Amino acid sequence: MSSHSAFAEAADALAGSVLGALDGTGDAVQLARYADDAPDTLAALAAVRVLGADVFSPHLLAGHSLPAQDAAVVAKAFDAFPASGPPDDATVARRDHATAVLLARLSGDDTLRALAPAPADDTMPGPAGDWSGWSVRMAQLAPLATLGLDSPVHEAARREALSLGRGMSRSILRRDFPTAVRLVRWLAWLRYEGVDLPLDPEVAAEHVWLVGGGGPRVALDLAIARHFLEQRPGTARRKAAHR
């Protein structure tokens, strides 16, 4: 088996574990045990890097604690696969930075943010007429559509709900369900934030669930979207008002 195939298989297995922990069908994710028991430790660490911020979904959305040994595995994954993408690859840099921010927050060790600094140019322009290409980039940034993060990417999502909706509809028509469900996830997060939307993300989520398939990583994106859809619209805004 090639290293690429081993890494992809490990990422799918980890996504399945995270999904089970999030929806209650499986045990809590134990990253340390996952890495220790894996037949290929390097592939297991690569899986942690591939999932990025999504490994924290059960902790952020279902209230699971993050043991110190599990936090150490995420840090070890950064050591094995440093956040050193090409200077112009802002998408990878933003995903890595989000992972480091959440790791620091959940572990209580703020020094871990240094594992992946924010991109030097951390602006996130709008679609500027190319809503289809922009929505694909936003789909690649879907792990940022979670709790505990706010950035120029999130501000762009708030401004461009219509472009996200158009991109999602286009992806469904093209039967590109992985992209569609990632955009559903952004729209579900926006509704949770109280943003007025041009369409109902619940209908889109149901459609993708019925016809999309796509494996455990798509299922995890959909489960995260459903978590937000199960909240009343504007829940995040009301919580902030009562702090």
pLDDT, tens digit, 9 for 90 and up, residues 28-87: 788 999 999 999 999 999 999 999 999 999 999 999 999 999 999 999 999 999 986 555
Domain of 16, in residue numbers: 1-122
Looking at 122, 144, 169, the residue that finishes a domain is 122
Q: State which amino acid sits at residue 163.
A: S
Looking at 98, 122, 146, the residue that finishes a domain is 122
Q: Tokens for 153, please give them.
A: 């990417």
Tokens 């790791």, residue? 103
Give dist(CA 126, CA 134) in Å, integer: 7
pLDDT at 53: 98
Q: Tokens for 8, please give them.
A: 């992809």
* pLDDT digits 0-9 by tens, 186-233: 999 999 999 999 999 999 999 988 887 678 999 999 999 999 999 988
Q: Quote the mean pLDDT of the chain.
A: 91
Domain count, the chain: 2
pLDDT at 84: 65
Q: Tokens for 229, please give them.
A: 């859809």
pLDDT at 1: 52
Q: Are 12 and 216 in contact (CB under 8 A)?
A: yes
Shared domain for 19 and 116, answered yes or no, is yes
Shared domain for 165 and 155, answered yes or no, is yes
Shared domain for 20 and 103, answered yes or no, is yes
pLDDT at 129: 86
* pLDDT digits 0-9 by tens, 107-128: 999 999 999 998 888 888 889 8
Q: Tokens for 242, please give them.
A: 């009562």
Whether residue 243 has pLDDT greater than 60: no
Looking at 122, 144, 173, the residue that finishes a domain is 122
Helices within 67-176 (DSSP H only):
68-80, 90-107, 131-140, 152-159, 161-173
Helix (H) or strand (E) holding 187: helix 177-193
Whether residue 2 has pLDDT greater than 80: no
Shared domain for 162 and 201, answered yes or no, is yes
